Every structure is written in structure tokens, then in C-alpha cells.
Structure 1
Amino acid sequence: MAVIVIAVGAAFADHQNKVVSDQAARADVLAKVNLIRAKLEGNINGNLQLVQGLVAAVVTEPYMGQQRFASLASNLFGRGSQLKNIAGAPDLVISLMYPMNGNDKAIGLDYRKDERQRVAALRARDKRELILAGPVDLRQGGQGFVGRIPVFVRSAGNTERFWGIISAVVDVQRLYKASGLLDDDLGIDIALIGKDALGPTGEQFFGNERVAKSNPVTADVLLPSGSWRIAAIPKNGWPSTPDNAWFLRAIMAVAGALVVIPFLVTGRLIGERQRNYAELSRLSRRLELALEASAIGVWEHDLATNELTWDDRVNEIYGKPAGEGRGYLDWAGAIHPDDLAGANADFDRATAGGGPYLSEYRIIRPDGEIRHVRSKAIIYR
């Protein structure tokens, strides 16, 4: 029963240790995920917020040319920005660009005729709000997250007309690096889900696909339009065994041994005692049989208290009732008067010298029968 109770307790403690270890591991991953999430949100929102100032300028100058557009846009590419380029598309056709170098292939792109960008561009126009798409393959090469901001300007009759779209392209690799996703010492594997800011229902666009299938820690990156879902697990996967598992198991094993070993030792001692009792009982029966067969009576005389103990065979020899066995036996009173002096002398000599006692004398039983008795003893302390 002790072993069963200890085993159940140890299993429960091991399970609880696993639960606590898993919770600690998930908390550690979540702390790193929240840091990445905050950086992504800050970088994306910061880049797109810069472009809002350019949109306000376009509203006031709807007919600005490339030179004016480039002059205003160049001020947005400061230190820490992940902007790759900014394009202006009056009537959904790109005609304004900064920087022009390396991005001139995008000039003339009609969003309505481009399968990859038409849906997002028209959605921005129809919803009259910023739409973040991506990552998308850019015509001029590479990938980027494209924030499309619809621009509406004042027209006659105090109405608004659709001017077009200002598109800000955020460089994918620079954004990932600035947000810590490419840090070799991060210690976790990350997946980003929600292409085109569609949240957890969108496609995965960053990281290993196994991450999302490995019970990851998740957090949502809130974007100007929609969100991304971050999923993360430890670099080498979730630990199957806590780091302190074997130490805890060793402690439980020692504690269990401290409980079980005394039981085992006690059981062994009890078994040994029972075997000794059985052997003693067997020897006692043999002695009893030997004494009965030889008609020898056994007595003890405590010299300090003068108390005697004897067995039933002594009672039989002296003609006493059975059952008496302790007290002050009238030993001298039973000795024949002619032998009393010699018997007393033999007893006194043995007790005085500490040597063996041997005496022969006659006794007179209560029924008058005379018996010859040989009495022997040794003295021990």
C-alpha cells in the first residue's frame, strides 16, 4: 500500500511539474512574442503614418507633378524608416514615384489591369480607407507590404471626387529585421499568418509551417486595416521533459526510499523475530520433553531476595500440588532431619565460593514417603 501511494503521489507530482514547466515555457515564449508584436505594430503603423502627411499635401495640390511629389516624398525616407518607395496613382495609374531609380518599371501600372493588385486597390477606393496588402511581388523586383491610401479631393459644388491612390511600399526584409524576426539569438521559431491583413483566417507568409501545427503561443498584430497572427514555439520545439524532471524524480525516489525501506527492514526484523520465536518454541518443547522423560525438576533460587521459582516436576518430586511455582518453598522443612545439616552445609559452601552446587539428601513427602534426591546447580549473575 505504501508503494502504491508513493507511486501515485510521485506520478502526480511529476505531472504537476510538467504542467508548471510547460506554463513557464509558454510564458517565456509569449514575452518574446509580445516584443516582436509591438515592434511590428510600431514599424508598420509608423511607416504608414508618415505617408498620411503626403496624402494631405496631395489633397491640397491634386495636380502636382513628379518633381513636387519627389520633393515631398523624399522627406519621409529618414533614418529608421523601412519604406521602399512611395507611388502616386491618379485615376489608379501610377505616374508619380519616389525614388524613381530602380522603381521606374512601375510607372504606367494600371491597378485595374493588374490581377495581383486590382482587388486591394479597388477595395481601398470603395471602402475609403487604408488597405494593407502583402507581402506582394513587386513589378520592379522584390517583395513588399503595400499600404494603399485612397485620396479624395474637393470638386465643384462642395463635393468630393476620387483622385487616386497613394501607395507606400514597406520593404519586407528590412521590416522583418527591424522587428527582430531575423535575430539569430531570438530563441523561438515564428510564423506570421494573415496575408493581406486577413488575420488568423489568412495565409501564412512567414516562417515554417510546422510552427502553426505545434500548439504555438499566439498573439495578434493590429494593423491600420485588419491584423496578422503571430504563432511561436521554442527553437527546438516544446520540451517533452522539464529540465528539473530528473532532479525532482531523484528527490521523490529518495523520499520514497525513506518511507519504504523502514517498512522493508521492519518486515524483515519481524520475520526474523518470528523465526527466532519458532526456533525458541521448538527448543523449549524439546527441553520440556527431555525434562519430562528424565523426571528432572528445574528450580532457581534468587540469592538476593531468597525467592524460589520451580516447575511442576519439582512439585511432583516434593509431593506438592501442581500449579505452584513461585514463592518461598519450604525446602529445608522437607529434608530428612538426619540430612539437614549436610544439605545446608553444601548450599552454604556453594554460595560462598560461587562454585557449582551438588548435594544429595533425603526428603519426606507429605504422604510420608521418603525419597532420595540429588540436587545440582550453578551460580550465574
Structure 2
Amino acid sequence: MDNKLTASTINFKKPAVVGFLVFVIVLLLGSFIFWQRYRILSEERNREMIGIIQVIENNISQPLKSSYSAALSQALLIGDDGQIFDFEAKAPQLLEANPNLDAIQLVPKGIITHVYPLEENRAALNYDILADETRNEEAFRAIEKRRMYFAGPFQLKQGGLAVVGRLPVFIDNEFWGFSAVIIKFENLLEQAGFNELSRGDYQFQFSKYDPETGKENFYLEGDISSNAYSENILFTDGNWKVYVAPKNQYAPFLSLLPLAGLIVFLAIWLGHLMKKLLKRPEKLEAVVEAQNLELYNSNLRFRKIFNQAAVGMARMDTRTGKFIETNKRFRDLSGYSEEEITKLNYKQLSHPNDNEENGILMQKLLQGEIREYSLEKRALKKDGSIYWVKLTVSPLWQPGDEPTSHISIIEDITKNKEAELQLNKSYKMLVDQNKRLVNFSYIISHDLRSHSSNIQSILDLYEISELQEDRDNYIELLSKVTANLNQTLQHLNEVVSIQNNPDLKKEPLKLVDFVKKTIEHLEIRIKEKQAKIFIDIPREAEINFNSAYLESVLLNFISNSLRYSDENRNPEINIKATQREADKWSLEISDNGIGIDLERNKEKLFGMYKTFTDRQDSRGIGLFITKHQVEAMGGEIEVESTPGYGTTFKVNFQ
């Protein structure tokens, strides 16, 4: 008994030792908290720098992509024989359509022969790029890779620092020269956002490795290359680097100095307090009560933070996945009351397609392979609507213990995710537009060359003909050819109008009203054909579409069903609308006409001037225009057809 008393009272006889130990422990714990907070601030700053780099990359990528389109358009001014057509007329239009450019050039055999604007760039005329050993390395690289390459920044012959993008042009696999664009360096920096971003907490540097010496050249004031916090990214089209670094490297540390002072103060105070308490054991019970009160207040503060947090929080039963308790923010996000949500598990609030990944990560958490995890997933509200969340899961059991419950932090990222999806959609639209541009250039090249060849042939025959009767016949033929040329130009103009107006006004339209209006418009032809029209469209079928386009689409499909009907039976046309999703509809137009051999014609079905019958009134332009109108509104067309039995066109509206 005496030994126990001695052991239990030894610490009270040395309060200074106990106070010092408390000081050391609190100081170590505070140092750990300080280090963790410093790491968080440093990581946040690094993420911010990465975000800034991504913004700069996106800002630079846009003018580079636009420059590529401008260079490609300029290259179309070069004929198959290498001659340059209408540069003086087209160059101002190209520059006006691409305000990010400062000048454009055509450089046959490496020699600048055409430039716009001319006056401020006259000094560059007749300059041989390939002969200049100080500048030709990047030009030869563009020829070798057969793709556009951005050289510079360097001083231009006409003065000023600029970046030059050179697109090599090949005719019959032989190098013809370059289609070049010029962006002044200060304009590139302005478009990239350097001027605006440099006003904040970061400094920037723009550099490029010299292709001959391998030396890295810097173009902005200041030296940050040795800064350990810098980030850089490589632009492959121009072999440039952009650096970003904080203006004050020690800002996170300096911002935590008050915390460090507080930690030292708390360590000293608690050590002194413990020493004082051990000296006054009679007041220990009062101190314990005070500490219990502080613990109670801390718990109240925790409950307040839990319930008023700006993000959703939930404590979950790890084994069953049921909600034990949730905060107000999460209940507002999900739409459930506190009573309702405790009867559910997380799978009932998750999108079915996103449960698999969540389940795999939860198994790893249960097996001790990971201590926490985060993922982005779709969640379901009480009303069935979908929203995106960032889910972070942390266990409330210690390693080695039996799993009990965990904390889930749910952050609503719907707006960011929708912006990301919209960006991907814009990128896909850009790719599709580029594909259509290439196809359109092929069409122009083929059709206009065909008409011009016919005109030239007729004029040649006219010149060598000596009989007036033959000459009159040639004049008549010339009139027909020019009429066909005019019709082709009208068709091409209509296609360009569709492709250049992707943002045409959309409005809610009742499908059944437009179908009936189209049938009334075709009433005479329907009676002539003795056709039967069957309509199965719910009154609530409503789509967001351009009204003029919808009239054109319906008129093309229904008139085609009448035009290509089978002579051995009366036409029957079925028009049906079905609902694919909550607010998305599909329209099917089926007929019993002559049909289309899709095995032979599917790939060219919607091609311009592609016909599949011997009828004289077939022009091959209707389906081409209809497809572009539907796609311009974000929809798509499907087709099923059997020769001799009929055709079904299905339009999926967005």
C-alpha cells in the first residue's frame, strides 16, 4: 500500500518535470499541425499554379488553332498548278475573320512573295527564309514533319518581335512553299493573359530553346528559372515553355507565423498550467469540471460546424452504407428530410452507373489498403434529378480496429462538371467543323473545277469552230453549263449558311403542329399520289429547335417519301414520335416507297449531289442539307431501308 502511494504521488512532487513534458508534447503536436497546414497551403498554391498554367495553355491554344485554320484557308488560294489566286481580295477577309493574327504571308519555295497588310510588312518581300541560316532551322522542321510549326519569337525583317506559324504546302507530293501567319509577341502575351495574371501573386517567364545552340532563351523580364516552386508546360506546336512561380516564395510560411506563435504560447501556457495544477491538487476537481465544460463546448462547436458547413457531411454505417446523421447542407442538396434520409443507404442516392467504382474503393478502405479516398460521381436527388458531387470518405476507426463508421464529405461540383462537359462538347464541335471544312473544300474543288473545265472546253471548241451553227450550239451549251454552275453556287452557299450558324435561335416547338403544317403544304402532291398519311405524335411532344430548320427537315423527308414512291402501290407514310428520355424525343418517318440499297450507298447517303435513282429531278442536295440542319441543332439522323419495301428515317432531337 505504501509503495502505491509513493508511485502515485511522485509526479506531484515534481510538477516542473511534468510541466516541461506537457510543454514538449504540446509543442511537438503544434509543430505537426503547423507542418501539415504548411503542406496544405503549399499544395493549394501548387494547384493554383497548375490551374494558371492550364489557363495560359488554353488561352494560347485557341489562337494557335485559329491560326492553323487561317493558314489552311490561305492555302486554298493556291491552285493545282502552284499559281496564287485572289490573294489581294481574300487576304483582308482572312485577317478580319482572325483578329488574333497581325499578318499573313504566302511563301513559295521559301521566298515571301505575298504579304498582307502590305505597307507595314513591305520590307519582308522577297526575303528567302530557307536561305537564312539563322532562321531556316524551324522552317525545315515544318517541311520535314509536314505540319504547321510555330517559329520564334524573333525579330522580323519588317521590325518587331513576333511568332510565325508556317504551314508547309505540297502539290503532287512536292513541296510548294509555306502558308504563313504572324502573331506579334505582345499580342500573343495579351491573348495568353500574361498581363492580367501577372498583377496577382505570381510572376511568369516565356522561353524557347534555340534549335541550333540548344540554349534556352527567355523573353520576359525577371529570372525565375532557379525557383523551386515554378511549374512549366511544353507547347509542342512551337516548342515553347511557360514558367510560373510565386512572387514571394515564403508566403505560406509567413502566413503561418501567427499560428506558430500561438502554438508556442499554448505550449508554454499549458506547461505552466500543468505545473500550477500539480502544485494545487485541491483545485484539481474544479479544473476537471472546467475541462469537461470546455469539452462540452467543443462538442457544441463541432456540432455547429457540422450542421452549418458549406459542404455536405454525413456520418455513415460502414458495413450497411446507411446514413447515421447528416448536416443541413447535404439534406438541402439531396432534397430529403432528416427522418427520410436515415432510412436510406448511399446506393439509393447514387447514380447506378457510378456505384461500382465507389464499391471498389470502399472494399479497399475496409481491407486497410487505403485510409481515405475521393472520387467524382453522379448523385440522385429526391425528385430524381442528377447532380455531380466530389465525394471524400474518411474512416472513424483506427488501423487494425473493426470498421464501424466513416465520415463522407459531399461537395456539389455540378457547375464545374457541366462546364467541363461543355468544353468537351465545344472541342468535339470544333473537330467536326474542321472535318466538314475539309469535306467542303473537296466538294468545292471537285464541283467548281468540273464546271470550269466544261466552260473552258466549250470556249476552246467555239474558238476553233468555223460554222456559225456550231458556234450557236456552243453558246447554248455554255448557257446551260453556267446555269448549272449558278445552281451549284447556290447550293454551296446554303450549306455554308448552315455550317456558319451553329447558334441559331432555338425555341420550344410542338412537333405535331409542324407536321400538320407540312402536310397542308404538300396537300396537292398528296392528292395526286393518292397517298395515305398516318400521324402518331403525342400533343406533349415538344423539342428545342429552330423553326425554319424544322420546316425544312420535315418538308424534305415527307416530299422524298412522295417523290420516291413505288408506281405499283399507293404511298403510305407513317409519322411517329417517341420519347427517349425525360425531355428528349425521336421522330420516325416511314414509307413504302422504292427504298435504298444501304449496302451499296450507306456511306454516301448524305453526300452532296449523291443520288440513288435514275429520276431526272433527283439533285442529291436535300438529304445533305437536312443532315447538316439536324446536326447544327445537336441532333442526329438514323436510316433503315430495304429496296422494294420502303425507308425509315429517324431523327433524334436534343
Instruction: Count matched residues.
Output: 259
In structure 1, what is the Cα distance between the partners aligned to 2:170 and 2:261? 72
Q: What secondary structure sits across from 1:103 in the alignment?
A: helix
CA contact (8 A) 1:145 1:172 kept: yes
1:188 paired with 2:202, answer yes
Q: Which has more helix, going by share of residues?
A: 2
Q: Are 1:143 and 2:161 counterparts? A: yes
| Rg larger for | 1
Q: Are 2:106 and 2:178, in contact at CA under 8 Å, matched by a contact in 1? A: yes
Matching residue of 1:63: 83
2:247 aligns with one of 235, 238, 243: 235
Tell me how far apart the structure 1 counterparts of residues 124 and 224 of structure 2 sit (CA, whole Å): 36
Instruction: Write out aligned runs for 1:219-234 (5 A).
Output: 219-223=232-236, 225=237, 227-234=239-246
Distance 1:100 1:141, change over 3 A: same
CA-CA distance at 1:231 after TM superposition: 1.5
3-state secondary structure, aligned to 1:112: coil
Q: Which of these residues, 122, 136, 140, is aligned with residue 104 of structure 1?
A: 122
Distance 1:222 1:120, change over 3 A: closer
Match of 1:170 among 179, 183, 186: 183
The answer as to 2:23 corresponding to 1:3 is yes
Report the CA distance shift for 1:242/1:106 in structure 2 as closer, same or farther (over 3 A). same
1:95 is aligned to 2:113? yes
How much does 1:266 deviate? 3.6
Specify the alignment match of 1:309 in structure 2. none
1:131 is aligned to 2:149: yes
Per-residue CA deviation, residues 272-298 of structure 1 (Å, 9 max, x unaligned), is xxxxxxxxxxxxxxxxxxxxxxxxxxx
Structure 1: how far apart are the matches of 2:115 and 2:224? 38
Which amino acid in 1 is paired with 2:120? Answer: G
2:44 maps to 24
Residue 219 of structure 2 is matched in structure 1 by 206
Secondary structure at 2:224 match in 1: helix
1:3 shift after superposition? 2.1
2:128 matches 1:115 = no
**Cα separation, 2, equivalents of 1:36 and 1:170:** 16
8 A contact 1:82–1:171 mirrored in 2: no
Q: CA deviation at 1:80?
A: 5.9
- The match for 2:512 is none
Give the Cα separation in 1 of the matches to 2:205 and 2:38. Answer: 25
Residue segments in structure 1 that go unaligned for 5+ positions in a row:
155-159, 271-381
Task: Give the 3-state SS of the residue equivalent to 2:228 in structure 1.
Answer: coil
Identity, % of aligned positions = 19
Q: Deviation per CA, 1:42-100, whole angstroms, max 9, x where unpaired?
A: 122222221111113315462126xx212222222126622222121212211111111
Q: Report the 3-state secondary structure (helix = DSSP H, G, I; strand = E; otherwise coil) of the residue aligned with 2:223.
A: helix
> The residue matched to 2:102 in structure 1 has which SS?
strand
Match of 1:153 in 2: 171
Q: 1:82–1:238: structure 2 CA closer, same or farther, 3 Å change rule?
A: farther
Q: What amino acid does structure 1 have at the position aligned with 2:218? A: F
Aligned-partner SS, 1:233 = strand
The answer to whether the 8 A contact 1:51-1:76 is kept is no
| Runs of 5+ consecutive residues of structure 2 not aligned to the other structure | 1-20, 282-654
SS of alignment partner, residue 77 of structure 1: helix
The 3-state SS of whatever aligns with 1:27 is helix
Matches within 5 A, 1:251-330: 251-253=262-264, 255-257=266-268, 259-269=270-280
**AA in 1 matched with 2:130:** R
Are the counterparts in 2 of residues 135 and 196 from structure 1 also a CA contact under 8 Å?
no
Partner of 1:355: none
Q: For the Cα contact (< 8 Å) 1:73–1:98, is it kept in 2?
A: yes
2:71 maps to what in 1? 51
CA RMSD of aligned residues (A): 2.7
Is 1:120–1:133's contact at 8 Å kept on the other side of the alignment?
Answer: yes
One-letter code aligned to 1:262:
L
- Pick 1 or 2: higher relative contact order, CA cutoff 8 A, min separation 6: 1
Aligned mates of 1:93, 1:266 — CA distance in 2: 91
After TM superposition, give the deviation of residue 268 of structure 1 in Å. Answer: 4.0
Q: CA deviation at 1:206?
A: 3.0
Equivalence map 1:346-361=2 (5 Å): none
Output the amino acid matched with 1:230.
V
2:257 — aligned with what?
Answer: 245
Q: TM-score, normalised by structure 1?
A: 0.61
1:84 maps to a residue whose letter is: D
Q: Is the 8 A contact 1:218 1:231 kept in 2?
A: yes
Question: Is the CA contact 2:123–2:157 (under 8 Å) kept in the aligned structure 1?
Answer: yes
Inter-CA distance 227–126: structure 2 relative to 1 (3 Å threshold): closer
What CA distance in whole angstroms lies between the structure 2 residues aligned with 1:23 and 1:197?
35
Per the TM alignment, residue 220 of structure 1 is displaced from its structure 2 partner at its CA by 2.2
**Alpha-carbon separation, structure 1, partners of 2:38 and 2:271:** 25
Amino acid at match of 2:117: P
DSSP 3-state at the match of 1:166: strand
Bigger mean CA deviation after superposition, 121-130 or 104-113: 121-130
Q: Hey, what does 1:39 align to over in structure 2? A: 59
1:179 aligns with 2:192: yes
Q: Describe the shift of the 1:41–1:216 C-alpha distance in structure 2 as closer, same or farther (beyond 3 A).
A: farther
The answer to whether the 8 Å contact 2:230/2:246 transfers is no
